[in-house]
């Protein structure tokens, strides 16, 4: 294999890894070793067929070339294209990694204590490495720009949600928070900008939620079990109270009692006051964001052995083709010379849902309101 410096998860991100351009934070493409182990259902296939059938984002010919030149290896060794994989073998895929962009906003440190850091998480930035995101994450950016590591996220914030994020600086403190959250001792408060004039008095929504991983959305499941079959949903409860309204939109304080996937979003929809820019829950029909590729939300869950790529939107082409002076072009890369991986939308915006406060028996952390929370 050519003499390239290959990064692994052990390599920390650095400040100069990022390119800020046109309101987006990009990551300079880098060489990376993805590792997985052969699943039972893959066993018996040739190495090329395994990749072509399981990771469809790249053409068959790419995988043939990658195996021939040693960019795909088995148990640390180069193999022929006819090699048949066996269960549990280690597969390494060495490739030129292009991460999806996020909004350019800084990850601002709000509180720095010996055992805890709290930050203002921007919308669109994942909390930790997942799918195609590694450096373009809150944890990665804090390590690169603030030399903060290791960090242990105490709670979840969806990628498109902004606001308070609490991170422990050691495992013991993370466990302290985990125990209090699991014991129901932690109060969580969010604000949302919703359609309509929500009720002035406090409203509690108790509605079971079921999450559909294929569609990437939750729904409320009502009624009792049917025909003796148990409901697939989980109990969920959220408190809502109006903060302000302009007659068209309302700013609503949201307090999830339970912690289900998309709980606040789906409960607001169920109550008749969906988040005003939440495309996923404004319609009962799931509409793909792009007919030509996939949006960055799906990038957070794509299998990391081979990031999916699709046809790049035309609006990117002129900008991206002129940007390759910022990084080295890899002749085998299916994304080069573009900076952005193929198939990602340009005009993604943050969700109007923001975490403002977490509090426990003897602690409280808060975050400033976003600009959209002020109604004229």
**139 neighbors 129 (Cβ within 8 angstroms):** yes
CA–CA dist 321, 277 (Å, integer): 32
Query: Where are the extended beta strands (E) located within 86-236?
Result: 90-97, 102-103, 108-112, 116-121, 152-153, 162-168, 187-195, 203-206, 209-212, 217-220
Residues involved in catalysis: 158
Number of Cβ atoms within 10 Å of the Cβ of 232: 12
Number of Cβ atoms within 10 Å of the Cβ of 359: 14
- In angstroms, how far is CA 160 from the centroid of its own chain? 8
CA–CA dist 174, 154 (Å, integer): 6
For 64, phi then psi, to 5°, come to -60, -45
CA–CA dist 139, 130 (Å, integer): 11
Number of Cβ atoms within 10 Å of the Cβ of 343: 24
Helix residue ranges, H only, 27-89:
47-54, 60-68
| 284 Rama sector, left if φ>0, alpha if ψ -120 to 50, beta otherwise | alpha
**305 neighbors 74 (Cβ within 8 angstroms):** no
Of the candidates 168, 211, 169, 208, the residue with the CA atom closest to the CA atom of residue 301? 211
């Amino acid at each position: 294999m050519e003499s390239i410096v290959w990064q692994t998860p052990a390599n920390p991100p650095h400040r100069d890894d990022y390119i800020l351009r046109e309101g987006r934070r990009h990551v300079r493409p880098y060489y990376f070793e993805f590792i997985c182990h052969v699943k039972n259902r893959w066993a018996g296939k040739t190495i090329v067929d395994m990749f072509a059938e399981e990771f469809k984002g790249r053409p068959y010919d790419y995988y043939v070339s990658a195996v021939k030149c040693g960019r795909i290896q088995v148990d640390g060794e180069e193999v022929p294209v006819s090699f048949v994989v066996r269960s549990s073998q280690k597969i390494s895929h060495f490739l030129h990694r292009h991460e999806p962009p996020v909004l350019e906003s800084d990850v601002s440190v709000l509180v720095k204590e010996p055992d805890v850091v709290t930050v203002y998480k921007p919308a669109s930035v994942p909390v930790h490495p997942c799918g195609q995101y590694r450096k373009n994450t809150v944890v990665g950016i804090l390590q690169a720009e603030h030399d903060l590591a290791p960090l242990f996220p105490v709670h979840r914030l969806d990628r498109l949600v902004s606001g308070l994020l609490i991170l422990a600086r050691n495992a013991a403190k993370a466990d302290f928070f985990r125990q209090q959250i699991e014991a129901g001792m932690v109060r969580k408060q969010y604000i949302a900008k919703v359609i309509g004039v929500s009720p002035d008095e406090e409203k509690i929504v108790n509605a079971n939620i079921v999450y559909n991983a294929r569609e990437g959305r939750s729904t409320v499941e009502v009624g009792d079990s049917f025909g003796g079959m148990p409901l697939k949903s989980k109990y969920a409860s959220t408190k809502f109270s109006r903060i302000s309204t302009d007659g068209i939109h309302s700013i609503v304080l949201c307090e999830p009692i339970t912690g289900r996937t998309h709980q606040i979003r789906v409960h607001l929809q169920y109550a008749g006051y969906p988040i005003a820019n939440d495309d996923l829950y404004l319609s009962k029909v799931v509409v793909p964001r792009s007919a030509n590729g996939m949006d960055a939300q799906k990038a957070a869950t794509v299998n990391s052995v081979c990031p999916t790529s699709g046809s790049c939107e035309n609006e990117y082409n002129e900008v991206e083709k002129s940007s390759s002076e910022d990084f080295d072009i890899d002749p085998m890369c299916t994304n080069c010379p573009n900076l952005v991986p193929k198939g990602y939308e340009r005009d993604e915006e943050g969700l109007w849902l923001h975490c403002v406060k977490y509090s426990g028996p003897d602690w409280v952390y808060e975050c400033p309101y976003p600009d959209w929370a002020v109604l004229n």
